[in-house]
Amino acid sequence: MQRRQVLAASAALGLAFSAGSSFAADKARIAMVVKALGIGFFEAAHRGGDEAAKELGNLELIYTGPTTTTAEGQIETVNSLIAQRVNAIAITANDTDALVPILKRAMQRGISVISWDSAVAPAGRQANLEPSSTKLIGETLVKLAAAPIAGKGEIAILSTTPTATNQNNWIAAMKEALPSQAGLKLITTVYGEDLADKSYRETVALLQGHPEVKVIVAPTSIGIVAAAQAVEDQHKVGQVFVTGLGLPSELVGHVKQGSVASFAIWNPVDLGYAAVYMAYDIASGKVKPSPGASFPVGRLGARSLDDKGNAVLGPPTIYDKSNVEQAAKLF
């Protein structure tokens, strides 16, 4: 094991000297690194990435990631990508900071690095593509919370871990948008750690300890499923509504059951599509990733970077009884 790592590292070192601008002639290789393989959302993003790769033509897309959502697993993945000498890495990070050193090393070897979906700290990437702006998500979540109770009543939030960057930003944005719905009162935030059993248990405790809560907002795909199941098991369908962010294919059953009235998610196909375009734009030297730079992203037009190196895809789409089944076939 040790020896193999040394070999891989020295191979990477040797190749690094010849890396650089050999790319125009050969096929460009762009790696799409996801939080974990097998998550429906990322599989859909992969589809978008493939679409972009086909349009761009001169491109080989490598879709990869660890089997569990850990930063350690992603570090190994990136390590092997450095050894394979890809031209660009587009990553959705399991940890904002833990991946910075390894991604810095990738950039030193001439690999272009962008993050998408879950950002890497600015030091570890050249640009970042947000699926939606935090502000837009916060506003959407408040809108979703207000919908089933006509804008009046107590609500609670079910998050993942108290240190999850995305979750905390969305929750903060939600709190900022709350005054727009004067009738909504946020009682508490609980944490399910992205585990089905913990999220379920937290929801049951919430239903028992706060019977006044009418809506549970879960901006997490495991959390929203576990909360919906708990509401159904506690026979609270129709009294308590679960909403938040999740995938149509994973929630279609709960929408039919009535525990989820509506939920939102950004379009992962578009997200993967735009991420691959951005990675290609930088790696090919077409766009310099500086503040204000505008990236052509195929059929979606263009997205520009703000002064912190962030670009935004758009507002999330809301799904309910009327459109969930159709979307469930896709992702």
In the bound state with other proteins, the residue whose beta carbon lies nearer, of 123 and 196, is 196
Which tokens go with 241? 């509504």
Q: Per rule CB under 8 A, is residue 209 in the interface with other proteins?
A: yes
Please give the size of the binding site for other proteins, defined by CB under 8 A: 37
Q: Which residue in the set 154, 233, 237, 320 belongs to the binding site for other proteins (CB under 8 A)?
A: 233
- Pick from 86, 206, 218, 261: which binds other proteins (CB under 8 A)? 206
Contact with other proteins (CB under 8 A) among 196, 238, 288, 301:
196
User: Exactly one of 254, 266, 270, 313 binds other proteins (CB under 8 A); which one?
Assistant: 254
323 binds other proteins (CB under 8 A): no
Binding track over 213-232 against other proteins, x by CB under 8 A: ---------x--xx--x---
- Check if the beta carbon of residue 245 is closer than 8 Å to that of residue 221: yes
> Which among 164, 216, 149 is positioned nearest to 187, based on CA atoms?
216
Type of residue at 79: N
Distance CA 72, CA 74 (A): 5
Question: Positive or negative, the Cα torsion across 254, 264, 249, 32?
Answer: negative
* Exposed e or buried b per residue across 226-257, where buried means at least 16 C-beta atoms within 10 angstroms of its C-beta: bbbbbbbeeebbeebbbbbbbbbbbbbbbbee
Among 55, 57, 49, CA closest to 32: 49
End-to-end CA distance of the chain: 38
User: CB of residue 199 vs other proteins: minimum separation in angstroms?
Assistant: 8
The verdict on 39 binding other proteins (CB under 8 A) reads yes
Give the shortest CB-141-to-other proteins separation in angstroms: 20
Q: Is 165 in the site for other proteins (CB under 8 A)?
A: no
Q: Which of residues 2, 18, 21, 67 is near other proteins by CB under 8 A?
A: 67
Q: Which of 36, 62, 121, 302 binds other proteins (CB under 8 A)?
A: 36
- Cβ-based nearer residue to other proteins, 95 or 202: 202
Question: What does the DSSP 8-state code read for residue 66?
Answer: -
88 binds other proteins (CB under 8 A): no
Using CB under 8 A as the binding rule, whether residue 14 contacts other proteins is answered as: no
Rounded to a whole number of angstroms, the minimum distance from the CB of residue 222 to other proteins is 8
Q: Supply the DSSP string of 174-220, one letter for each residue.
A: HHHHGGGSTTEEEEEEEE-TT-HHHHHHHHHHHHHH-TTEEEEEE-S
- Closest Cα to residue 223, out of 251, 202, 252, 192? 192
Q: Is 208 in the site for other proteins (CB under 8 A)?
A: yes
Cβ 233 to other proteins shortest distance, Å: 7
Give helix 2-18 / helix 71-84 axis angle, nearest 10°. 50
Q: Which 3 state secondary structure label does DSSP give 316?
A: coil
Which lies closer to other proteins via its Cβ, residue 133 or residue 234? 234
- For the CB of residue 211, give the shortest distance to other proteins in the complex, in Å: 9
253 binds other proteins (CB under 8 A): yes
| 131-160 residues near other proteins, rule: CB under 8 A | none
User: What whole-number distance in Å separates Cα of residue 185 and Cα of residue 155?
Assistant: 6
Q: Select the span of 62-70, 127-135, 212-220, 288-296 touching other proteins (CB under 8 A).
A: 62-70
Binding flag, residue 68, other proteins (CB under 8 A): yes
Task: Determine the length of the chain.
Answer: 331
The encoded tokens of residue 254 equal 């709960």
Contact positions toward other proteins, by CB under 8 A? 36-40, 43, 67-69, 161-162, 188, 190-191, 195-197, 200-202, 204-206, 208-209, 222, 225-226, 229, 233, 249-250, 252-254, 256-257
